[in-house]
Amino acid sequence: MLKQSLNLKLSQKLSPQQIQLMKMIQMPTQAFEQKLKQEIEENPALESGKEQEEAFEDNYDDYADEGNDSIEADDINIDEYLSDDDIPSYKLQANNYAADDEEKEVPYAGGISFHQSLINQLNTFSLGDEEYIIAEFLVGSINDNGYLRRDSIDIVDDLAFTQNIFVEEKKVDDVLYRVVQKLEPTGVGARDLKECLIIQLKSKPFTRSIALAIRMLELSFDAFVKKHYQKLLTKYEVSEEELKDAIKEISKLNPKPGGAVVGNSKIAAQVVPDFTIRISEGELELLLNSRNAPDLHVSREYNNMLKGYKEAKVKTKSQKDAVLFIKQKLDSAKWFIDAIKQRQQTLMLTMSTIMKMQKEYLLTGDEGKLKPMILKDVAEKIDMDISTVSRVANSKYCATPYGTKLVKEFFSESMKNDLGEDISTREIKSILKTVIDEENKKKPLTDDKLSSLLKDKGYLIARRTVAKYREQLDIPVARLRKEI
């Protein structure tokens, strides 16, 4: 049986040039500089620096149609282009490196990796060949935070299969406790947080506070974590002051000893802004990082090649092929220069609009004056697609009188207060944080109580919303904020 049906499908096709432009808009300054360098290296018709282009325009126009073979672009899946498998490194970190007009190089110590540091320390112990291999294998099983998350039996099996060493669990544990857990920084090689903290405490000079802290962790770790302080006071028959001193000693410890290594391979990166906003005579001034506005021009040498072909009386096939090659390179150079100009205009137009919408906040630095603003609001004002605004907001930094900020930090959703006015969720979070900072830490406020207090201040938000904002602010629940 035949069945007829009408199926409508809406598809969007973008040219390769449009896709390249979108990717250029998204690039932070350092990635843009790399793209610029690559383009100059690959296209001899493109040069940097100031140059007169009038002569080129005359010759190029005469041969704009010479050997013009049009190329039809294939259908393009935009998602594939915007989500390449080989993700550029600049997309993997909230980071860009371009400096302002005066480039400043910040030297970093080369250092050695965390694991290499541990292995180097093994040479300070007097170990037999077998013990050294076991210790080295244990160090290799320690994660970046400094913990050994594998059971001894698994280590025994791996040693047998990979190193042809047959030992018992007792031997592995002996090397772990006697050697690996004695390495620096103190606390590495622990199986869990409890053991990590105890190792660090036992390495300190003995005091009454240290002794109490060790006993609490060894015998009452759950009560300590849950901050059941009254139970601890009763069990150990100590005063509040003594318990405070013990807790203070524990608070000084490092729960992730692996992250404390100087020379760790994970080096903190610089963040240098793409934009700068200054206050000049009470008005805001927006500047684009100068490295986003390079001076480019087409090659005079290529212009002379066209001129020579124009003046030649006899035009051979090889000369025509050369002209076609030259034309393609010049087309590419002209497009790239135009794309850079469009990128600059898009960045400045987008950021200028954001600056005007958040003028009160940028003049004062008061987050309470940060207006509710979403991507759609900016996109409608500049008559651009929301995705374009998103590319600027999510990958660019802006230096302000109050610090360097990711552009997306100027955006926030809105809620209604008791007067029906739109207020920024950032403002609510700021007030929530202030309320929690000022609470009585002996009786911290529950989410229900926080919700009631905010309603009293005119912010009508439910308990679930308070919990969500509290988690976004990385603030623990009331029970874990409790102090003696």
Residue pLDDT tens, the chain, 484 long: 555 656 555 445 556 777 777 888 888 777 888 888 888 888 888 877 665 444 444 444 444 444 444 333 333 332 333 333 333 333 333 334 344 444 444 444 445 678 888 988 998 888 888 999 999 999 988 998 889 988 889 889 988 888 888 989 999 999 999 999 999 989 999 999 999 999 999 999 989 999 999 999 999 999 888 888 889 999 999 998 999 999 999 988 888 888 755 444 444 446 778 899 999 888 999 998 877 777 777 777 776 776 666 666 666 777 777 777 877 887 888 888 888 888 888 999 999 999 999 998 899 887 777 888 888 889 999 998 888 888 888 888 898 988 888 888 888 776 666 555 666 677 778 888 888 888 888 888 888 888 888 888 877 888 888 888 888 888 888 877 877 7
pLDDT tens digit sequence for 374-384 = 888 899 999 98
Which tokens is 379 given?
A: 């996109």
List 276's β-bridge partners, or say none. 287, 399
Q: Are 59 and 306 in contact (CB under 8 A)?
A: yes
Which tokens is 197 given?
A: 């903290």
Q: What is the pLDDT of residue 24?
A: 81
pLDDT tens digit sequence for 143-166 = 988 899 888 898 899 888 888 889
Q: What is the pLDDT of residue 332?
A: 83
Buried b (16+ CB within 10 A) or exposed e, 238-255: beeeebebbbebbeebbe
Exposed / middle / buried, residue 237 (Cβ in 10 Å: 0-12, 13-18, 19+): exposed
Which tokens is 233 given?
A: 């006071």
DSSP output for 118-133: HHHHHTTS---HHHHH
Smallest CA-to-CA distance from 244 within 1, 482, 4 is with 482
Cα gap 308→299, rounded to integer Å:
15
Q: What is the pLDDT of residue 288?
A: 87
Residue 276: phi and psi, rounded to 5, are -135, 130
The set of residues, in sequence order, having a beta carbon less than 8 Å from that of 126 and lying 6+ positions away, is: none
Query: Interior CA angle at 67 toward 66 and 71, to 5°?
Result: 120
